[in-house]
């Protein structure tokens, strides 16, 4: 009778190394032998490549080094894995995670895990350089037509944390804590004179709450997990952003001015 393979738990660092080696052409069979795991595990890691790289990008983008071509892993593997698990949990609930949010959570988890000397490094020179380049580029734009947009998650059925129900119990009597959420994209120009209709992303294709409302000041779209996707953003940009900006240009009689769009996570 063949002996069972010893269970091996791969760290995030190992998974990133496996992805790098897969990209270089190393076979799944060879990697399964090197790391002592089944080929199915290697296949799962390959399939989760985008999630892993997205996590690394969000974490590293905070230091202004998004152009880095190699993946740098943390020296504190336990902390890195804990942050990654939290990241996956938040994404499973559809919560948008930015670099600052992830870094703040890393600090909290580091304290809980006993990493007293833990600190996040940042390339201050690169950040300052980016700011100066942005200022120079923005000089050719009218502030009226420089727009900033950012998304946020809204848990719209949750009780406020300051209620007696949330302090003394996990939910109000007879009710479970609701985690139902939507994603909202806000966009306005730098002067604050022009606020675009909100982009609201929910799970339902035809929300019953909208049936008796003829016209809402928002652009509603549905997505299985109520997440922002490239396709939804492109649709919003083409169908809402461009027409609304042109309308605003006409209203202030500056129809020939250039328009700059800035993502809130940059």
Integer Cα distance of 207 and 222 in angstroms:
9
Domain extent, residue 208, equals 140-263
pLDDT above 70 as % of the chain: 69
The residue-averaged pLDDT of 42-66 equals: 68
Give the pLDDT of residue 112: 81
Q: pLDDT band at 94, cuts 50/70/90?
A: low
Is pTM beyond 0.75 here?
A: no
Residue 97 shares a structural domain with residue 182: no
Q: Is residue 32 part of a domain?
A: yes
Residue 144 shares a structural domain with residue 258: yes
Residue 237 shares a structural domain with residue 180: yes
Give the pLDDT of residue 170: 52
Residue 159 shares a structural domain with residue 103: no
Q: pLDDT band at 176, cuts 50/70/90?
A: low
Residue 105 shares a structural domain with residue 205: no
Helix/strand/coil percent split, the chain, to 5: 45, 10, 45
Residue 104 shares a structural domain with residue 179: no
Q: Provide the token pair at 249.
A: 């240009």
250 or 159, which is more confident: 250
Please state the domain count of the chain: 2
Give the pLDDT of residue 166: 42
Residue 104 shares a structural domain with residue 145: no
Integer Cα distance of 202 and 224 in angstroms:
8
Give the pLDDT of residue 135: 80
Is residue 195 pLDDT above 90, yes or no?
yes
CB contact at 8 A, 121 and 237: no
Residue 181 shares a structural domain with residue 222: yes
Give the pLDDT of residue 6: 66
Is residue 194 pLDDT above 70, yes or no?
yes
Chain centroid to Cα 48, Å, comes to 16
Buried b (16+ CB within 10 A) or exposed e, 102-115: bbebbeebbeeeee
Q: Is residue 94 part of a domain?
A: yes
Integer Cα distance of 237 and 234 in angstroms:
5
pLDDT tens digits along 228-260? 888 898 999 999 999 999 999 999 888 776 766
Residue 256 shares a structural domain with residue 158: yes
Q: Is residue 135 part of a domain?
A: no
Distance separating the N- and C-terminal Cα atoms of the chain: 57
Residue 154 shares a structural domain with residue 232: yes
Residue 158 shares a structural domain with residue 248: yes
């Amino acid at each position: 009778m063949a002996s069972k393979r010893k269970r091996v738990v791969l760290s995030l660092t190992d998974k990133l190394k496996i992805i790098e080696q897969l990209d270089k052409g190393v076979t799944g069979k060879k990697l399964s032998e090197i790391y002592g795991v089944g080929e199915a595990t290697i296949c799962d890691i390959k399939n989760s490549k985008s999630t892993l790289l997205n996590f690394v990008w969000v974490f590293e983008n905070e230091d202004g080094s998004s152009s880095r071509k190699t993946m740098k892993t943390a020296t504190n593997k336990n902390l890195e894995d804990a942050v990654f698990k939290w990241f996956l949990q938040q994404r499973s609930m559809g919560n948008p995670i930015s670099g600052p949010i992830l870094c703040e959570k890393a600090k909290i988890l580091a304290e809980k895990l006993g990493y007293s000397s833990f600190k996040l490094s940042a390339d201050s020179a690169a950040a300052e350089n980016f700011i100066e380049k942005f200022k120079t580029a923005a000089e050719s734009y009218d502030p009226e037509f420089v727009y900033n947009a950012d998304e946020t998650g809204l848990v719209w059925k949750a009780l406020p944390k300051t209620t007696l129900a949330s302090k003394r119990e996990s939910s109000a009597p007879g009710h479970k804590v609701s985690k139902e959420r939507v994603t909202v994209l806000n966009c306005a120009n730098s002067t604050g004179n022009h606020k675009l209709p909100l982009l609201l992303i929910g799970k339902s294709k035809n929300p019953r709450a909208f049936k008796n409302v003829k016209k809402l000041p928002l652009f509603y779209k549905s997505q299985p997990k109520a997440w922002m996707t490239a396709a939804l953003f492109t649709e919003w940009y083409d169908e809402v952003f461009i027409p609304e900006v042109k309308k605003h240009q006409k209203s202030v009689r500056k129809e020939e001015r250039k328009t700059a769009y800035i993502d809130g996570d940059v």
